[in-house]
A = this chain, B = another copy of it.
């Protein structure tokens, strides 16, 4: 039988984690192992802090996703929140609630996924917590970043006539999840289908673009697509006291998403607006600043930035398709 975490206990698990963490950067005065971490804040910067959790049975299933992906994604979804504020990651805290029979190999793999992203993103792991769970695995992460004073990209700020832009593609993660739900085997999937699965399991937080857009003041407002485009767009509109019209024809949808949706008898557009978990960014941009935004995007050359809608005076959220406007479906709710 493969060893479980209860054979080691909390102290040994923390030690195992510490051995894997890279040497601390200079601003980390006290890292893992004390009662709390101590950071030296950067001057003339505001601090950005967010927390988000992945819960087994709600956000992932262990039989579907490797532990390494779960660790990666738990940090990625937090970094996406930093990206949507235009912040640069500096530190993170990892709080784990694990069943006693959680395999040690999965514990290590979860850390591998987390620490690999922590290393490439700059979200240095400075502390956390470990406890037993009598039920699901819960991975709760807090991420901390910095942003120039008053440069944080807020949710409010859109104006009537502003355009809604979205990074990358939408609906891919929802398609990936639907493939898992339908019992598709990873090995059997085509390249485009696997791309959807990768978007679900390993979303790439759009840190570089978020940072550039924030520093350039290229957008009036920004948000990430954790709960889908419909949810994000309506939140931006609501925060500004406006409405939003999404153009169905403009939506950037991957070929794998469209193919899967058609084969499953589902509407790719519906998946693209209502599906959660994409972790792309959405920006409200005035037509005057459009050039500045697209200039910023060119500095992240591999990342598409697509205009998908317009903010309007009438409050509400609509999808425009073949000349007709219908109410936008709601986003994904975790309750």
Chain A residues within 8 Å of B, Cβ to Cβ: 5-6, 8-11, 13, 29-30, 33-43, 45-53, 55-59, 81-82, 84-85, 87, 91, 93, 95, 97, 100, 126-136, 138, 140, 142-145, 147, 149-150, 152, 154-155, 222-224, 333-335
Q: How far is the CA of A71 from the CA of B84 in the complex (A)?
A: 30
In the complex, which residue of chain B has the Cβ closest to the Cβ of A137? Answer: B135
Complex interface: chain B residues within 8 A of A56 (CB): 134
A149 B37 Cβ-Cβ under 8 A: no
Chain B minimum-CB-distance residue to A130:
B334
Quote the shortest CB–CB distance from A309 to chain B (angstroms): 19
- Residues of B within 8 Å of A147, CB to CB, are 38
Q: Quick one: closest B residue to A133, CB to CB?
A: B55
Q: Knowing A85-B34, A136-B133, say if A127 contacts B49 (CB, 8 Å).
A: yes
* Contact assessment for A334 and B132 in the assembled complex, using a CB-CB cutoff below 8 Å: yes
A107 → B minimal CB distance (Å)? 11
With both chains docked as a complex, state the minimum distance between the C-beta of A136 and any C-beta of chain B, in angstroms. Answer: 5
A36 contact set on B, CB distance < 8 A = 48-50, 81-82, 84-85, 87, 143, 145
Q: CB-CB < 8 A to A334: which residues of B?
A: 10, 130-132
Q: Which residue of B is nearest A154, CB measured?
A: B34
Nearest residue, chain B, Cβ from A46: B38
Residue of B nearest to A57 (CB): B134
- A53, B84: Cβ atoms closer than 8 Å: no
Q: Does A138 contact B97, Cβ atoms closer than 8 Å?
A: yes
| 8 A–B pairs (Cβ distance < 8 Å), ordered by A | A5-B335, A6-B335, A29-B150, A37-B50, A39-B46, A39-B49, A51-B128, A56-B134
Chain B residues contacting A50 (CB-CB under 8 Å) are 35-37, 93, 127
Q: Closest 10 CB pairs between A and B?
A: A135-B135, A41-B41, A36-B50, A57-B134, A140-B140, A35-B81, A131-B334, A35-B84, A142-B142, A51-B93
